[in-house]
Structure 1
């Protein structure tokens, strides 16, 4: 009962933040991020322990919350990937993705190997991937919220999907070298559309429902759920099969803003005991984790955008470099996975969590808006 009361209070806090944010013209995900930073930690420290008699971190590890977390992540990722499932690896998206991934990845590996205390090789690799990730869900929500042109939105999302697919695949292969099942079973599950098509199924819900059943199950068993999600939808796209959410759109919107995004943010922020981390903080390490990932990511993004569209105005390149630096939910999910598997400690978790929230809020703090002339309407370059 105390767990239910606590989470109802958390969801009510996010609902209030969303409502107040709308009055000031904020999109829901921005006001929810602000609520996560400014309100959740005080709520955990001042209310969770004295009132509920348990730490907030303990209240995030109950089986019901773990299952609900997996369902929320499946719903959010499924809706977003379903919207861009017709992924075409064109030259622009690939040219953006390669430097945008490689530069921060190399910076992260260098920081882990040279500047941090000695780490296992899988932890070093994971830190490089955390430097390189772009959050597909929040990037999508942000671009939708500021009215970014659809073709330009698709171009940036396709680049982000390529980056995350590379990152999660590298992690899956590396982890699979130690535990082959973490990669084998998600990839086998992603082939499910093949027997479903052989049965003659053509309804989009028939392919959407198994996706939303398998995603939380894979997450619950600490298998690579994101690799499954991306691979499953790429198989659907290659077979030209339909995919639909098993929910009407009005209900989905309500679930997204009222449950999915708040729960994922809350679990990410509350999972670690921040008071213990800040009792004896390593300020130099926290500063490194706050500054090095966004600096290397923005540099890689700018190089990729310049390579893909050299005639694009410099202001547009910097705007999109900052947008592709958005971290948000994908990074928080990856952080939780690494923390659960003891690949990163609490200090690294907190520093990278604060970095993720800062990078995601930065476009809103700088007041980034959609371009007046979409890139897709600008003259095409001759090859």
Structure 2
């Protein structure tokens, strides 16, 4: 009994340390005028390498023994699943209030060029990169995985940036969010296909059909008067029930060969809007609290991987293609959709935000064996850098707009009689 209590105490202590590291990471990010998620991801991923650097393998084994790592992995998965239920719900019920032409062009610009950039990166990995970067994944799965990785926009991080900059209700903010929602929905579906290819295409298609059926039937049942009344009257108890269903679905789909992400999305998409939003929000907040544990587990996987040289070429290629695909594609799409240059550039910069969503996608691909540790590291760096770029680039656009607005007044000569 004492050993059990000691073990539970060890897990609780590590969990508290992880949450404290995440808190400090968020504060550091705010001080650096960066999205909080950048500091949180860095803090989580660097916990294990920091312990390893200070105490070596012996110190790491003492802080994170096998008996503690197992519960941490479960907690990280639980946090991820609960958080993604909220993400899926927001994707399903987000509304832009904008014209279909503008949203359509920006969405196409955000997705298609980024997807092509991902295909170009995958071609480099297959044809020119070394075996350490290539890994051993089937070529079709690898190509699709890399294409998805460069196509993602982090909807939760984007929403936070828009809120911090008071752009939520602006036409530019709405346009970027609408395009991001559609793009991410397609990217998540392609991720499931990529993971499923390695386990068998036919099985994956069957499971996708099962997921769609569960989503449709679930929405029909939950929109009934009785379930809606229960959700309004007992939101906490209903939230617990939805969370349990999401966890069961996630781990079941993972057991069948797909990623747990798919199960979380099935439940999140099945939950209706309206009063059900009050049920989903606490689920998402709880998951958000535990997501840093997921980052620590990801960092442990990287730290335990075979040592290799830093993949500078992969990092540089990923950054160039990612920025070109999102900022360039978003700008082009917005211009074709009738937006002015400043709006188009702002939309492109916003859509270049990857953050947490990208890390989740990459971890899913890494866990499924689709990404080598070197390619995983290169894409993680790309995700962090592109997210960190968003704030400074937006500030630069704003400064240029203010400067350009002031120039005409300074250049107009005074007319005779003192009349400007």
Which residue of 202, 209, 214 maps to 1:189?
214
The equivalent of 1:217 in structure 2 is: 248
| 2:165 is the alignment partner of 1:137 | no
Q: Offset at 1:47?
A: 4.4
CA contact (8 A) 2:89 2:271 kept: no
Report SS of the residue matched to 1:281.
coil
The equivalent of 1:125 in structure 2 is: 144
Which residue of 119, 126, 132 maps to 1:116?
126
Q: Distance in 2 between matches of 1:151 and 1:264?
A: 34
Report SS of the residue matched to 2:383.
helix
Q: Offset at 1:320?
A: 2.2
Q: Distance in 2 between matches of 1:81 and 1:171?
A: 14
Q: Structure 1 residues 96-105 or 363-372, which shifts more?
A: 363-372
The equivalent of 1:65 in structure 2 is: 72
Q: Structure 1 residues 9-18 or 177-186, which shifts more?
A: 177-186
Q: Structure 1 residues 340-349 or 190-199, which shifts more?
A: 190-199
CA contact (8 A) 1:44 1:270 kept: no
CA contact (8 A) 1:82 1:233 kept: yes
- The gaps in structure 1 that reach 5 residues or longer are 373-383
Q: Distance in 1 between matches of 2:244 and 2:293?
A: 18
The equivalent of 2:23 in structure 1 is: 15
Q: Structure 1 residues 163-172 or 86-95, which shifts more?
A: 86-95
| 2:226 is the alignment partner of 1:200 | yes
Using the size of structure 2 for normalisation, the TM-score is: 0.72
The equivalent of 1:325 in structure 2 is: 352
CA contact (8 A) 1:17 1:35 kept: yes
Q: Distance in 2 between matches of 1:248 and 1:112?
A: 37
Cα 1:356–1:248 change in 2 (3 A) is closer
| 2:90 is the alignment partner of 1:99 | no
The equivalent of 1:266 in structure 2 is: 296
- The 5-angstrom pairing of residues 1-383 of structure 1 reads 1=7, 2-22=10-30, 28-33=36-41, 35-36=43-44, 41-47=49-55, 49-53=57-61, 62=70, 64-83=71-90, 85-88=92-95, 90-117=100-127, 120-152=139-171, 153-173=173-193, 175=196, 177-180=201-204, 182-190=207-215, 191-198=217-224, 200-203=226-229, 204=231, 205=235, 208-221=239-252, 222=254, 223-227=258-262, 232=267, 234=269, 236-237=271-272, 242-246=275-279, 255=286, 259-273=289-303, 276-277=306-307, 279-308=308-337, 310-312=338-340, 314-366=341-393, 368=395
CA contact (8 A) 2:85 2:284 kept: no
Q: Distance in 2 between matches of 1:81 and 1:172?
A: 14
Using the size of structure 1 for normalisation, the TM-score is: 0.78
- The gaps in structure 2 that reach 5 residues or longer are 1-6, 128-133, 400-420
Q: Distance in 1 between matches of 2:398 and 2:68?
A: 40
CA contact (8 A) 1:33 1:361 kept: no
Report SS of the residue matched to 1:134.
coil
Q: Distance in 2 between matches of 1:337 and 1:38?
A: 19
Q: Distance in 1 between matches of 2:208 and 2:65?
A: 28
Cα 1:232–1:87 change in 2 (3 A) is farther
Q: Offset at 1:185?
A: 3.9
Q: Distance in 2 between matches of 1:188 and 1:128?
A: 27
Q: Structure 1 residues 135-144 or 35-44, which shifts more?
A: 35-44
CA contact (8 A) 1:189 1:228 kept: no
Cα 1:178–1:5 change in 2 (3 A) is farther
CA shift digits 1:102-158 (9 cap, x unpaired): 111112113212443565211111111111111112112222222223254443222
Q: Offset at 1:234?
A: 5.0
Q: Offset at 1:101?
A: 0.9
Q: Distance in 1 between matches of 2:52 and 2:262?
A: 32
Q: Distance in 2 between matches of 1:30 and 1:194?
A: 38
Q: Structure 1 residues 156-165 or 180-189, which shifts more?
A: 180-189
Tell me which structure has the larger Cα radius of gyration.
Answer: 2
CA contact (8 A) 1:135 1:326 kept: yes
RMSD of Structure 2 on Structure 1 (CA): 3.7
